[in-house]
Amino acid sequence: MRRILTRWRRSRPTLSNCEAYARWAASYPPYAHNALMRSEESLMRRHFPDFRGCVVLDLACGTGRYGLIAVEQGAARVIGCDTSPDMLTANPLPHRVLASSEAIPLPSGSIEIVLCGLALGHLPDPRPSLDEINRVLKPGGTALISDFHPALYQQGGRRSFQGSDGRSYHVEHYPHAPEAVRQAASLAGLQVIAVEEASVPGAPSPEPAVIIYQLRG
């Protein structure tokens, strides 16, 4: 029932991020629930820092998938931040804030680890969010960001879901070239430590489906 990747179909309307997640929140579980997300999470986990005793920001947290993993791995405090009140309502993390990644309501230098899963493509321009990530990170802090790969988008892959009305919807998305993200991160003051891509096992196309960026403040 739940899907994040489909092939383009003319009959499927595209919803804004706010409208899409308002409709999706009730059925959106706080774990990787399809093959693309499982590939993405496996890639992210390979680059996880040591969470023990750290203050972690789960940015664009949704229902809390990465925040809950950070708690399980010993983070001292995890803060979830998202623009969707419906997703935050479904999020079990005790510390949550309704806000955009472009204006994070946290003090500068207050976060040791930022996790941001599959949200960069919701933004027309990643630079303001990368500026904010750099601002809230402590010097030497780590940011791990994953995204829907632009190569998959160019082949017709779309982020989509089935609503409670039985209809399928696409979610607003903006493909970002890896080099453009790297440049934006550098201009924001972040050091690019690693960039890695992965395909979805068993998918019809061998092209990469997800990409992660490991950054340092």
Would 65 be classed as within a structural domain? yes
pLDDT, mean over the chain: 92
CA distance 25 to 9: 23
The pLDDT value recorded for residue 213 is: 98
Mean pLDDT of 191-202: 93
Would 28 be classed as within a structural domain? yes
Mean pLDDT of 113-141: 97
The pLDDT of residue 187 is above 80: yes
Q: 133 is in which domain, residue-wise?
A: 6-216
The pLDDT value recorded for residue 11 is: 57
Listed in sequence order, the residues at least 6 apart from 19 whose beta carbon sits closer than 8 Å to its beta carbon are none
Mean pLDDT of 47-61: 98
Flag the least confident range among 45-49, 129-133, 190-194, 198-202. 198-202
Domain count, the chain: 1
Would 149 be classed as within a structural domain? yes
Would 1 be classed as within a structural domain? no
The pLDDT value recorded for residue 48 is: 98
Would 125 be classed as within a structural domain? yes
Please write down the long-range contacts of 95-103, taking CB distance under 8 Å and 24 or more positions apart.
96/61, 101/59, 101/60, 101/128, 101/129, 101/132, 101/133, 102/128, 102/129, 102/132, 103/132
The pLDDT value recorded for residue 162 is: 84
pLDDT digits (tens, 9 = 90+) for 138-170: 999 999 999 999 999 888 888 888 888 888 899
The pLDDT value recorded for residue 163 is: 82
**Percentage, residues of the chain above pLDDT 70:** 94
CA distance 142 to 69: 16
The pLDDT value recorded for residue 165 is: 85
The pLDDT value recorded for residue 206 is: 78
Q: What CATH number corresponds to the domain at position 49?
A: 3.40.50.150
Report pTM. Answer: 0.92
Would 196 be classed as within a structural domain? yes
DSSP state of 124: S
- Pick from 36, 30, 4: nearest CA to 169: 4
Would 27 be classed as within a structural domain? yes
The pLDDT value recorded for residue 183 is: 98
The pLDDT of residue 10 is above 70: no
| Element holding 182 (H helix, E strand) | helix 178-187
Mean pLDDT of 90-112: 98
Would 155 be classed as within a structural domain? yes
39/159: higher pLDDT? 39
Mean pLDDT of 73-97: 97
